[in-house]
Amino acid sequence: MANTPDRVRVRLSEISPRAYEHPADRGALVALRSLRGFDEVFKRMSGLFNERALRLMFLSSAVRVGPTQFPHVHDYVRDAAYVLDMDEVPELYIQMNPKPNAMAIGSQRPFIVMTTGLFDLLDDEEQRFVIGHEVGHILSGHAVYRTMLLALIRLATRVAWVPLGYIGLQAIVAALEEWYRKSELSCDRAGVLASQNPEAAKRALMKLAGGSTLVEMNPDAFLEQAREYESGGDARDSFLKLISLMGQTHPFAVVRLAELHRWIEEGSYQRIIGGDYPRRSSDREARVGAEARSAAKSYKESWERSGDPLLGTLRDVAGSAASAGGKIFDNVADRWRNGSARSDQGTSGTNGANGSS
């Protein structure tokens, strides 16, 4: 299949990641972004887990993409950063590993790693989608929180002998994994926006499930698998689904394809390409409560699409919980912001006094 000409790709100037983030992912991120100073504290904490060592490991054991090494892949990274209007082009390393995988990691200078298993599996346009997906993680700030998630998982294994501490950490890890699964849905959308080739995105997701022999696969049949999975079964199937998600940071491939297909079909993709999307300048105006309610609405709609009997019992709870939770989040965020403002005023007053003396 021929590459999409560069002139056809629309640059999404000043696009806010809120444009493509899944409501459950966006709600969590808006809450964190609204707490002034929290993101910096989080970055400093994640820095304790030695980002420098991570970078040196890949610098010494993988191939760093650039103008003279995998130059076409380097162009894809630059294109994705250009389309999503990022100030810096992230580094990308290709690592010898037969397992198909890609990730964005780090906090101060996030970078991308793609395994040879994934690189060899995909054609050029599918590689563009995957790289755009990872650049979306960086634009959203996911790389920072993913690094912390990986550190917490390692920590949980070390304190497994402390029952209460282990249970508490496992609860945090489970919540982070659920958030991260939703962040993957967000960045599938970012990958489509960066590559502007929805069919290549769908092919890539099918390959992640069934390998490279596309001639033996059919997108419509694959979507039918997703509908069958979502429709549930009896309570035993519901329980098995929940168990199967434990330890998973990525949604299953059929779920990812169905969610991406739904997002494109409802017109969101085309609206963004047409210029109808939130800008970064409006990020400060986003309200945590509204995003929490949007997240709950998204879950409720997902449950209503499903015939799963266990999820059906939760439908009526979502709306009232979201309303109450949204108000709580807004109050907490307002207090945090007001406290930060008073602290800044006190600091500036002290600096002024010191200056005059």
pLDDT at 141 over 80: yes
Q: pTM surpassing 0.85?
A: no
Amino acid, res. 266: E
Residue 333 domain-assigned (yes or no): no
Residue 208 has a CB neighbour count (10 Å cut-off) of: 20
Copy the structure tokens of residue 114. 């793609």
Percent of the chain whose pLDDT exceeds 90: 43
Q: pLDDT by residue (tens digit) across 94-130?
A: 999 999 999 998 877 899 999 999 999 999 999 999 9
Confidence category of residue 354, pLDDT binned at 50, 70, 90: very low
Residue 35 dihedral angles phi and psi, to the nearest 5°: -90, 100
The separation between CA 187 and the C-alpha centre of its own chain, rounded to angstroms, equals: 5
Please report the pLDDT score of residue 2 as a whole number.
40
Confidence category of residue 350, pLDDT binned at 50, 70, 90: very low
Residue 317 domain-assigned (yes or no): no
As for how many domains the chain has, the answer is 1
Torsion of CA 130, 132, 134, 138, to 10 degrees: 180
Residue 63 dihedral angles phi and psi, to the nearest 5°: -100, 120
User: Domain span at residue 238?
Assistant: 10-286
Q: pLDDT by residue (tens digit) across 278-297?
A: 999 887 766 555 555 554 55
What does 147-177 look like in DSSP terms, one character per residue?
A: HHHHHHHHHHHHTTTSHHHHHHHHHHHHHHH
| Contact by Cβ (8 Å): 309, 236 | no
- Distance (Å, rounded) from C-alpha 86 to C-alpha 134? 13
Copy the structure tokens of residue 156. 């949980």
Residue 100 domain-assigned (yes or no): yes
How many residues are listed for the chain in this entry? 357
Residue 155 domain-assigned (yes or no): yes
